[in-house]
Structure 1
């Protein structure tokens, strides 16, 4: 069961990144958020594209935000109103605990990799992202993670057709 306190905290955290929550829980999808977290298990053969930014980059946050925008906008993450899905959760008391999708909108002023990772929903600390997002039509999955010495922003077209995501859905691949 979702608590109002939990929803408010997640909504406030996303707002610091320039992401406005439209619907806190969005279930009208075929790819569950829990399966989307298998994004890093996909490869170039699946169609995955990566932008890599080294932690030593003096403009790490700015360059990572630019890479996120380039991949998100170029790949078709945004709907007509700049809306998309972001994985949040898990909900309080949910057994087993699993993330879910929230429908959100990108505001005019945003900082996904900097301020967005400062409060935990999109990763943390600043410059160390950990998130997955998906277009409403499920044609693009984008995520970010940190590795040893660098961060990676990854996109995957048509995620529901790839083995790592289908495996996460419990489907044959």
Structure 2
């Protein structure tokens, strides 16, 4: 099997369908989604923490991220969203995915490296298809945590960060600047 077939199979086992790989110019960089962890609760930031000592931690964490993703409108009615992936060179890109009827992000997905580093240890970034909501999953030895925010495009700190990406980050390349300008609602040639 080639790398793409392996990826698609790992997605399938986790209950995720890969619909397509998103071109870098189509959406702001996946690293941008992690900016939500820098925001205060006054900007709409929501945090959920599941302690590892709690019974059925993986099941509870699966329920928690999905409830948060629905509430923040990261996942649409067709259960579609963007999931950040890393290629063999360490570059991040978005994949447009959908959830199957049965899925396991925190257990199987993390164990397969799709949504984390090992079973019960998620590390992922999600964004709504319109780029206006984001959720990240992170973990340590004590807990599994999720941080998310809706209405990203109206948060001044994130607009400033996107503007830096668009106009002051030539080392990130033309695609990063182009997609940041589009996310900000600007014409790419500005």
Same fold (TM over 0.5): yes
Computing the radius of gyration from Cα coordinates, the structure with the larger value is 2
> Structure 1 unaligned runs (5+)?
none
Q: Per chain length, whose mean CA-contact separation is higher, i.e. which structure has more relative contact order (CA < 8 Å, sep 6+)?
A: 1
Q: Secondary structure at the match of 1:63?
A: helix
1:40 is matched with 37
1:98 is matched with 91
- The answer as to 2:148 corresponding to 1:155 is yes
Compared with structure 1, are the counterparts of its residues 19 and 26 closer, same or farther at alpha carbon in structure 2 (3 Å cutoff)? farther
CA distance in 2, matches of 1:8, 1:38: 31
Q: How many aligned residue pairs are there? A: 165
1:79, CA displacement in angstroms? 2.8
CA distance in 1, matches of 2:40, 2:55: 28
Write the mapping of 1:52-63 to structure 2, written as runs, cut at 5 A.
52-63=49-60
Equivalent of 2:70, from 70, 73, 91? 73
Compared with structure 1, are the counterparts of its residues 153 and 165 closer, same or farther at alpha carbon in structure 2 (3 Å cutoff)? farther
1:164, CA displacement in angstroms? 5.6
Is the 8 Å Cα contact of residues 29 and 138 (structure 1) preserved in structure 2?
no
TM-score (norm 1): 0.82
Moved over 6 A (4+): none
Q: Secondary structure at the match of 1:170?
A: helix
Q: More helix per residue: 1 or 2?
A: 2
1:124, CA displacement in angstroms? 2.5
CA RMSD of aligned residues (A): 2.4
Instruction: Describe the superposition over 1:135-168 as per-residue Cα deviations: whole angstroms up to 9, x where unpaired.
Output: 1011210110013511111111133445368537
